[in-house]
Structures are given as structure tokens and as C-alpha cells.
């Protein structure tokens, strides 16, 4: 890190604006990782692109940046890709302009999660300026361009590559927008698992006036769905809310009013807690469908298992840092959707913590400038505590 870089510092709001101005809708990069490299290189980070490909999925570029060679090793993980803007006419400010109005930064990715990435870079800069390159460990950023998409050519493969060359880390914060109402009111120490299931029921097509000569697959499908949703999967536990099965679509595609169709299909999603695994739920689904009766085929896609990071040193550091900056004690929760922490948990303790998420994925996504600045101070406080002498 040059003396000039240390003196000038990194403006987290300015960096967030520069990141937002790169329209990196999954899986496009549009130069956003280059903006990060330009900010991290002068601080002494060694930047490494990690592009991955897989048949049937888009090619994705990712960035791994690290300063230091020894332990302990603290990692910040995030994603530079964003979701599409939706109705462009609904935005009051152009979604990729990265403009500040009335103390608020607007733009796709402001909350989810370019604001958090910029906040961490600024936090790392200030920490390094205070402690110097010999701070006694390593700091890294693991930034993927494939979190909002299929999540195949991103974090998971980056972690596998690093593990394959013997490179690990001791703790990780993912900068997802976990705060609910005000900055610092919630962090996520775990996430429910998620599985998407498609049922296709086969019957016998026929005339509605001669039902004895047909076999209506819709009736069988309704029995199956009724059996699956008749009772709650569980009541939850001390760490997790109850598991939830939600039917998302029922499709027949029958344009006729006097024809019993040959097939009917439905899809549902299960968000499940740590009382189950995708394997045990798959077995439960099949038992339930078999008991309901009917000929069916099942397709199951699992995007992640549930996980929990037990309260310990990382959660204590996070809580202390949030209290120092905001005066609040964040709730340690497992609610909501999932994140790339589901991959990281196999490698190190991990917690999701970031900005208020009320506007993420919405029209006029935004984050208060004051929150971005405060989040950067929280991340800096986390680094100070993590690398405290004798810790």
C-alpha cells in the first residue's frame, strides 16, 4: 500500500457509485470487477480473476483479492452481480446512474450489495492505514458475479479452487442486506435450506362425458398436493422458524372444456430448517405421494442445505462492532432467503451482515449515505477486533 493511497483513503459512497454505474446484471461483468481491482490494488491486495464455465450455464468472472500470507485470515464475501431493473419507467432515478439525492444513494445494487462491498474496501483501507501491512494475518475479498443467477460458476467453485491449493480462512462476513428496519438490527447466523420440486402426474385422456373411460390426472395431483400441505412440516426450533412448503404453480395446458387431460404438473418450494435435510424431505415427499395414489414423476433441485453458525467468537465480534457504531444489539436470526453463505459454511464460520434490505430487488433500490458510512465503520471495527493482539 502506497503512502498516497493510505493518506487519500477510500470513499465508500464514491466507490459504491462507481460500482453501480457498471450494469452488471447476472452474468454480465461490464467492468465492475475492474473497478474493484483498481480500488484494491493500491492498498496492497493481490487481485486474481477466477472465471468459470460449465455446459448449459453462462460463463462467469469472479474476483479473489488478498493481502497478507499468514493467519489468522479474515474473508469478506459478496457479489458484484445484480438483478434486472424491471420496469425502467418506474424508476425515479436512472438505475445505473448511481446518484445521491437527499442523502440517499439510488441504483440497482445500492443495497444488494455494492454498497456493502464498497463499505468493506473503505474499512480495509482505514484498518491497513492504521496497522500497516504487518498487521498479523490476512484479509481477503471473495467476490462473485454469479449470486443472483444459478450460483454454479461463482462462490462454490472459488472455494473449491482455494481449498485445492491449501488456501483457507478462519472467519467470513457476507455483506448481504440483512438489516430489517434500521442498520444493525439483524444479522443472519444461518439460513434455511431450499429445494424446488416438480410433480408430473400421468392419467388417461378422454371425454368429460365418459369419465369411466379416462383417468383424470388433475384429481390425483390435487390429492397429492392436499396430502403434502395438510399438516405443517414441523413447528420450528430455537434457532429456526418452521419449515414451509409453498405451491408455486399448477399447470395443465388444456384449452378444451370437454377433454380430460393426459398430464398435470405442479411445482412447489420447501424452505427447510436444520431438523431436515433435502434427502430426508425427498423421502417424505415420495412416501406422501405414494400414499395419495397416482402415477407421477418427480424432479427435485436443491439449491442449498440449511446451516447454522453457532454463537461464538465471530458473532461476539460482530455484535460488539455493531454496538460500538450504532448502539444497537443485532438479533442473530436465520429468517429470510438464502445466500452464498450456504457454500462458505463448509469452510469457516460465516455470518451475513449488511445494509437495510427493504428496497433490494425493487424499483428505486437505495441506501442512505449515512448507513453506508456507518456500515464501513462497523466492518472496520470487526477487523480491529478480529486482529486484536492476543485474540
> In angstroms, rounded to a whole number, what is the distance separating the alpha carbons of residues 104 and 102?
6
Cell of residue 291, nine digits: 400414499
> In angstroms, rounded to a whole number, what is the distance separating the alpha carbons of residues 333 and 349?
15
- Choose among 38, 187, 179: nearest CA to 121: 38
Question: What does pLDDT average to over the chain?
Answer: 95
- Choose among 243, 233, 305, 294: nearest CA to 266: 294
Active site residue 282: no
Half-sphere exposure at residue 255, Cβ-oriented, CA atoms within 13 angstroms = 0
Half-sphere exposure at residue 107, Cβ-oriented, CA atoms within 13 angstroms = 27
pLDDT at residue 363 is higher than 70: yes
Question: Each residue of 246-279: pLDDT tens digit?
Answer: 999 999 999 999 999 999 999 999 999 999 999 9
Q: Active-site residue among 11, 81, 274, 305?
A: 81
Strands 295-304 and 193-202: antiparallel
- Regarding predicted confidence, which is higher, 6 or 374? 374
- Confidence at residue 5, expressed as pLDDT on a 0 to 100 scale: 41
Q: How far are the Cα atoms of 102, 176, 305, 335 from residue 180, in angstroms, in the given order?
A: 21, 12, 24, 11
Cross-strand pairs, 266: 199, 250
Question: Each residue of 110-124: pLDDT tens digit?
Answer: 999 999 999 999 999
CA angle 131, 133, 136 (to 5 degrees): 75
Residue 367 in 3-state DSSP? strand
Q: What is the mean pLDDT of residues 145-164?
A: 95
Cβ 301 vs Cβ 195: under 8 Å: yes
Domains of the chain: 3-191+306-386 (3.40.630.10), 193-304 (3.30.70.360)
CA angle 150, 62, 189 (to 5 degrees): 65
Q: Active-site residue among 29, 146, 147, 176?
A: 147
Active site residue 54: no
Q: What is the mean pLDDT of residues 360-379?
A: 98
Q: Enter the pTM of the model.
A: 0.89
Rounded to the nearest angstrom, the gap between the alpha carbon of residue 213 and the centroid of all alpha carbons in its chain is 50
pLDDT at residue 300 is higher than 90: yes
- Confidence at residue 337, expressed as pLDDT on a 0 to 100 scale: 83
Rounded to the nearest angstrom, the gap between the alpha carbon of residue 31 and the centroid of all alpha carbons in its chain is 21
> In angstroms, rounded to a whole number, what is the distance separating the alpha carbons of residues 100 and 368?
9
% of the chain residues with pLDDT over 90? 95
> In angstroms, rounded to a whole number, what is the distance separating the alpha carbons of residues 381 and 313?
14
Amino acid at each position: 500500500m502506497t503512502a498516497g493511497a493510505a493518506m487519500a483513503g477510500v470513499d465508500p459512497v464514491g466507490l459504491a457509485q462507481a460500482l453501480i454505474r457498471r450494469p452488471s446484471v447476472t452474468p454480465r461483468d461490464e467492468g465492475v470487477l475492474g473497478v474493484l481491482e483498481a480500488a484494491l490494488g493500491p492498498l496492497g491486495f493481490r487481485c486474481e480473476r477466477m472465471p468459470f464455465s460449465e455446459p448449459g450455464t453462462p460463463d462467469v468472472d469472479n474476483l479473489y483479492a488478498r493481502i497478507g500470507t499468514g493467519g489468522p485470515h479474515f474473508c469478506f464475501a459478496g457479489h458484484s452481480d445484480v438483478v434486472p431493473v424491471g420496469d425502467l419507467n418506474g424508476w425515479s432515478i436512472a438505475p445505473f446512474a448511481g446518484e445521491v439525492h437527499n442523502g440517499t444513494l439510488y441504483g440497482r445494487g445500492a443495497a444488494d450489495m455494492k454498497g456493502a462491498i464498497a463499505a468493506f474496501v473503505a474499512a480495509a483501507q482505514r484498518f491497513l492505514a492504521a496497522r500497516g501491512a504487518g498487521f498479523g494475518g490476512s484479509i481477503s475479498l471473495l467476490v462473485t458475479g454469479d449470486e443472483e443467477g444459478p450460483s454454479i460458476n461463482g462462490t462454490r467453485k472459488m472455494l473449491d479452487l482455494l481449498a485445492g491449493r491449501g488456501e483457507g480462512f478462519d472467519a467470513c462476513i457476507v455483506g448481504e442486506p440483512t438489516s430489517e428496519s434500521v442498520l444493525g438490527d439483524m444479522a443472519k447466523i444461518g439460513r434455511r435450506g431450499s429445494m424446488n420440486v416438480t410433480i408430473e402426474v400421468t392419467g388417461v385422456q378422454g371425454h368429460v362425458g365418459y369419465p369411466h373411460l379416462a383417468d383424470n390426472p388433475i384429481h390425483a395431483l390435487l390429492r397429492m398436493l392436499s396430502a403434502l400441505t395438510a399438516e405443517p412440516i414441523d413447528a420450528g426450533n430455537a434457532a429456526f422458524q418452521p419449515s414451509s412448503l409453498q405451491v408455486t404453480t399448477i399447470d395443465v395446458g388444456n384449452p378444451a372444456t370437454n377433454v380430460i387431460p393426459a398430464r398435470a404438473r405442479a411445482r412447489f418450494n420447501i424452505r427447510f430448517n436444520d431438523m431436515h435435510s433435502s434427502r430426508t424431505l425427498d423421502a417424505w415427499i415420495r412416501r406422501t405421494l405414494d400414499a395419495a395414489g397416482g402415477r407421477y414423476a418427480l424432479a427435485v433441485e436443491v439449491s442449498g442445505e440449511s446451516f447454522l453458525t453457532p454463537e461464538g467468537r465471530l458473532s461476539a465480534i460482530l455484535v460488539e462492532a455493531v454496538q460500538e457504531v450504532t448502539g444497537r444489539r443485532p438479533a442473530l436470526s436465520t429468517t429470510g432467503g438464502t445466500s452464498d453463505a450456504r457454500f462458505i459454511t463448509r469452510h469457516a464460520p460465516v455470518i451475513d451482515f449488511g445494509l437495510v434490505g427493504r428496497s433490494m430487488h425493487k424499483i428505486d433500490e437505495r441506501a442512505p449515505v449515512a448507513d453506508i458510512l456507518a456500515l464501513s465503520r462497523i466492518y472496520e471495527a470487526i477487523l480491529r477486533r478480529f486482529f486484536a493482539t492476543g485474540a
